[in-house]
Amino acid sequence: MTCQEYDAYIDDYVDEVPSKGIPSKGILSDALRAQCEAHVSTCTHCRALTTDLRTIRMATRSLEPQVPSPQVWYRIAAAIEAEPHGIVSAWFGGWQQALAGAVAVVLIVSSLSWVGGHLAPAGRNRPASPISDASGAPPMDAAEFTLVEQQYTTAIAGLEDITKKERATLDADTAQVLQANLTVIDSAIGESRAALNQEPESTVAQESLVEALRNKVVLLQDTVALINAMQPADADTNTGLNQ
């Protein structure tokens, strides 16, 4: 078998690599497999290529599941809520009540999308993408910075309002950890504001403040997500959703 001939079978040959100790089902005939093995044993170039493709094949099989952010379900729930009544008439009622908190979160998250688009590196207010963390965000002028700061501040106020009302939903340990993190972030916000007061034109201080505000929004979003995650069982009990 020549390299060119082997090239026609290499993928099938690679696909026969055993998985978890169990041989894959035969793709090649015994005769072809023997010819491939014979070629690989004598051709260093094809052997190297085969080894690499098998390494990739094995690594691909071991890829772990990816997990969507909690916000996806809230967006779905909110979208269902907005469906025309003719389609979802049977879903109205308890569904509406149960989703009220989630919808509020979605609205707040949506209001932040403009902020994220103008200020934060793409995707910073959502779980970090494992693929790309390229920023490309242009620097802001003073007016834009002020506007962005106001947007964050408003969003934080809204989120804090929800978390204060629903704080009892969380267990004491979780609430304590969240509060400790909030204290750290608030401290960073205070230090950044102090630096900005001293040097209002400092882009480093601006970025520091915005980063701290963004961290607070993310933490509060996560807190609200936790609160919402705790609510369905209670909602079912309270509203008789399943009755």
Partner 1 sequence: MRAVDLELVQRCQHGDAAAFEEVYRAHAGRLYSLVFRMAGSAYDAEDLLQEIFLHAYRKMASFRGDSSLGTWLYRLAVNHCLDVLRGRQAKMTRVTDSLDDDGAAEPASAMPVVPTAISRLDLERAIARLPAGCRAAFVLHDVEGFEHNEIAKLLGVSEGTSKSQVHKARMKLRAMLSGVTP
- Sites of contact with partner 1 (CB under 8 A): 10-11, 14, 44-45, 48-49, 51-53, 55-57, 59-69, 71-73, 75-77, 79-80, 83, 87-88, 90-91, 94-95, 98-99, 122-123, 126-127, 129-132, 232, 236, 241-242
- Our CB check for partner 1 shows the closer of 21 and 139 to be 21
- Our CB check for partner 1 shows the closer of 88 and 177 to be 88
Task: Decide: helix, strand or coil at residue 19.
Answer: strand
User: Residue 236 Cβ, how far from partner 1 at the closest point, in Å?
Assistant: 6
- Our CB check for partner 1 shows the closer of 70 and 160 to be 70
Could you give the CA distance from residue 96 to residue 126 in angstroms, rounded to a whole number?
A: 26
Could you give the CA distance from residue 123 to residue 125 in angstroms, rounded to a whole number?
A: 5
SS3 for 135-180 is: CCCCCCCHHHHHHHHHHHHHHHHHHHHHHHHHHHHCCHHHHHHHHH
How many Cα atoms within 13 Å fall on the side-chain side of residue 183? 6
- Our CB check for partner 1 shows the closer of 9 and 154 to be 9
User: Residue 159 Cβ, how far from partner 1 at the closest point, in Å?
Assistant: 20
User: Residue 173 Cβ, how far from partner 1 at the closest point, in Å?
Assistant: 24
